[in-house]
Amino acid sequence: MSRSSDKVMKLNVGGVFYTTLKATMATYHGTYLWRIAMGNQYCPKDDRGNYVIDRDGHCFRHILNFLRTSRLLLPSGFRDVEILREEARFYGLDEMVKELNVIIEKRFRKRRGRGLNKRFSSSVGENLHHIQEDDDLDFFEDSYFE
């Protein structure tokens, strides 16, 4: 015998399709996704019966993983932290927003600290500084004075 919480929900989030359970959508009481799952929030459906949510479809996978695990699990090198925080705010996932704020603040402090230790010269080539991100993703920052 199936329970109503076992109901499969199909989503079209920004053109990216997801399948999940009603119970997963209803993990955090009062959120936008909880209201959709409970039928308390209008959400249009496409011609295939998928709920259509006009948000960032690629970031939604992290929203869904947070609902499934109650943990923020981001891949190494993830750069769209601010975008994901906005998405989490939209969905009303306050705990996720708090965790993302910690990551953003930590990255800001680390960058600011490194900026004080840099030596600059007038040569463009000498002003290319290699920076290591918190998540071990290497990238380059071009810094110069005018």
Note whether residue 125 is domain-resident: no
Note whether residue 131 is domain-resident: no
Task: Specify the CATH number for the domain of residue 89.
Answer: 3.30.710.10
- Which pLDDT band, with edges at 50, 70 and 90, does 110 fall under? confident
Note whether residue 10 is domain-resident: yes
Q: What is the value of pTM for the model shown?
A: 0.73
Distance CA 57, CA 39 (A): 22
Note whether residue 43 is domain-resident: yes
Sorted by sequence, the CB contacts under 8 Å of residue 23 that are 6+ apart come out as 5, 6
Amino acid code (one letter) for 70: S
Note whether residue 19 is domain-resident: yes
**110 vs 120, which has greater pLDDT?**
110
User: What local confidence, expressed as pLDDT, does residue 6 receive?
Assistant: 76
Parent domain of 106: 4-118
Q: How far is CA 105 from CA 83, 87, 102, 113, 134, in A?
A: 15, 18, 5, 12, 11
Note whether residue 23 is domain-resident: yes
User: What local confidence, expressed as pLDDT, does residue 32 receive?
Assistant: 99
Note whether residue 21 is domain-resident: yes
pLDDT above 70 coverage of the chain, percent: 75
For residues 113-140, average pLDDT: 48
Q: How many domains does the chain have?
A: 1
* pLDDT score of 68 more than 70: yes
Sorted by sequence, the CB contacts under 8 Å of residue 1 that are 6+ apart come out as none
In this structure, are residues 34 and 20 in contact, taking their beta carbons and an 8 Å threshold?
no
